[in-house]
Structure 1
Amino acid sequence: MCDETDLAGFERKGVSRRQFAAVGAIGGLAACTAIDGAAVGLTERMVTVTTPDGAMDAFFVHPAKAAPAVILWPDIAGLREVKMAMARRLAASGYAVIVPNPYYRDLPAPQFADFAAFRSGGGFEKVGPWRSKATAPDAVTRDARALVAWLDGQRAVDTRRAIGNQGYCMGGPYTVYSAAAVPARVRAAASFHGGGLATDAPTSPHRMLQKGTGYLIAIAQDDDAKQPQAKAILRQAASAVGAAAEIEVYPADHGWCVPDSPVYDPVQAERAWERLLALYGRTL
């Protein structure tokens, strides 16, 4: 999970705060202009999903024809334009995509325009109390069930097909919890530079892996350096239950998949995206 040591690492690698802001703006612009939703027949809107904890605001985008649904869990900086752009790109590949605001219990999205704004605006301090509510396993479970129920009520969703979900940074564990929460519907879980996937806690995501769900766990090289045992724990856990899991350490740093991140790596991000589409092609 992204933390202050990651941000300190950006600066050690020569990414100053000013450069960080510039990279974030350029990356966000690139992502936002990648897909013209209207031009490729997409429909998008902000929606409200009722959960046991309140009203969750979310972004929903889908093609003209009913399609399998995907939940895209944001990173620590929350629901913002770059995540909408990523959702549009996925929708253009034939999926009905919802991007929830993970901090809806406290305030509506966006909380930050981009990751540069998160960094310069004291993001870690601001999200601390929000994140403690959002990332609790039981809270994620409630949210996942509410999202699946909402998706299954949409004409844009092909309910004959399974649901997938993908998460970035703190959203990585959400994907495993969601699959465990609604196993009959959520059949694919993809974590990109996710944190806390293998811990000593009884609710650690690695203990929630299950047969019948396809997993893609893409680990950042710097996260692997901090917790080198995690990949082996995850592989062993998947093997023990007979779960199909692709677990790989990528030659890129935490945040490499998100275009407004200062360590965005377009080559490795594209490779991860291709593996994501392959997972969904097999499981949904």
Structure 2
Amino acid sequence: MTVSKLDVRTDDGVMDVYLHLPPGHEADGGEPLPTVIMYPDAFGVRPVTQDMADRLAALGYAVALPNIFYRTPDAGPFDAATTFSDPEARARLFDVMQKANATAVMGDTGALLTALDDVPAARSDKVGTTGYCMGGRLAFAAAGTHPDRVAAAASFHGGRLAVEDDPESPHRHAGEVRARLYFGVADNDSSCTPEDQVRLAGALDEAKVEYRMEVYTGAAHGFAVKDFPVYDEAAAERHWDRTAELFDATLKAPAA
């Protein structure tokens, strides 16, 4: 794969973004590719997320993988296998996550979209978003925050997608969404309960949003990411199939 780094200036500093392209493509030339922004989970950009961006790029996409935790560069690294059982590491992680709240990251996403306008290899007039865990929430939020740009969004084991008492809950912006959506929901996930799923579906139905929601029976929160202890190969492969189906149908159509 071809990987280059973009430094994207935001209101809070400079966010580093990794641009993954298929073999033979360079960021400064060639036919523009359909573009997907991939939001990482709470453990941030690391080898496993780089590998995932490579796999998506190999399907014919320019994949932008942003370091959404650039505001706290010295907080990590965090180990997905042990952080939640270590009180000190868990507290540090929650502090990092709080600074990368939806409002902040949606501002960052606007800056990233502007930066992608100047990348010849990346088609930026309509993009896809995808994400994992908290990144799944951000991918959904982007569809409601940047509806003129986001044509498709996928959320995998996303948390807090439709929380009744959360003013930042992305389901509140369902009426602004123009994208086609996909939700791959982990089974028995306390961050996306059956009640949350009903609330989410109700908001999307009322807004007449095109979406598909699937519960991955038997798969735990984190099923798609290889360095999670609960990684589930069968569920992960299914998530790759759904990712390709969504973005091939929405982003690979000729430009209007």
- Give 3-state SS (helix, strand or coil) of 1:271's partner: helix
Pick from 179, 186, 195: which aligns with 2:159? 195
Conserved 8 A contact 2:147-2:177: no
State the distance in 1 between where 2:97 and 2:191 align: 24
Provide Cα deviations, 1:147-174, integer angstroms capped at 9, x if missing partner. Answer: 11111210111245x2001111111111
Post-superposition offset of 1:130? 1.6
2:170 partner letter:
P
Conserved 8 A contact 1:191-1:218: yes
Trace 1:1-284 onto structure 2 (pairs within 5 A). Answer: 37=1, 43-63=2-22, 64=25, 65-107=31-73, 111-112=76-77, 115-116=80-81, 118=83, 123-135=89-101, 137-159=102-124, 162-200=126-164, 201-209=166-174, 210-223=176-189, 227-251=193-217, 252-284=219-251
2:123 partner letter:
D
State the distance in 2 between where 1:58 and 1:180 align: 22
State the distance in 1 between where 2:74 and 2:33 align: 27
Coordinate RMSD, CA, aligned? 2.0
Conserved 8 A contact 1:188-1:283: yes
Q: Is there any run of 5+ residues in structure 1 with no aligned partner, and where?
A: 1-36, 38-42
2:239 partner letter:
A
Greater strand share, structure number: 2
Conserved 8 A contact 1:112-1:118: no
Greater helix share, structure number: 1
The residue aligned with 2:28 is none
TM-score (ref. length: structure 1):
0.79
- Cα separation, partners in 2 of 1:126 and 1:153, compared to 1, 3 Å: same
Paired-residue identity, %: 40
TM-score (ref. length: structure 2):
0.87
Q: Is there any run of 5+ residues in structure 2 with no aligned partner, and where?
A: 26-30, 252-256
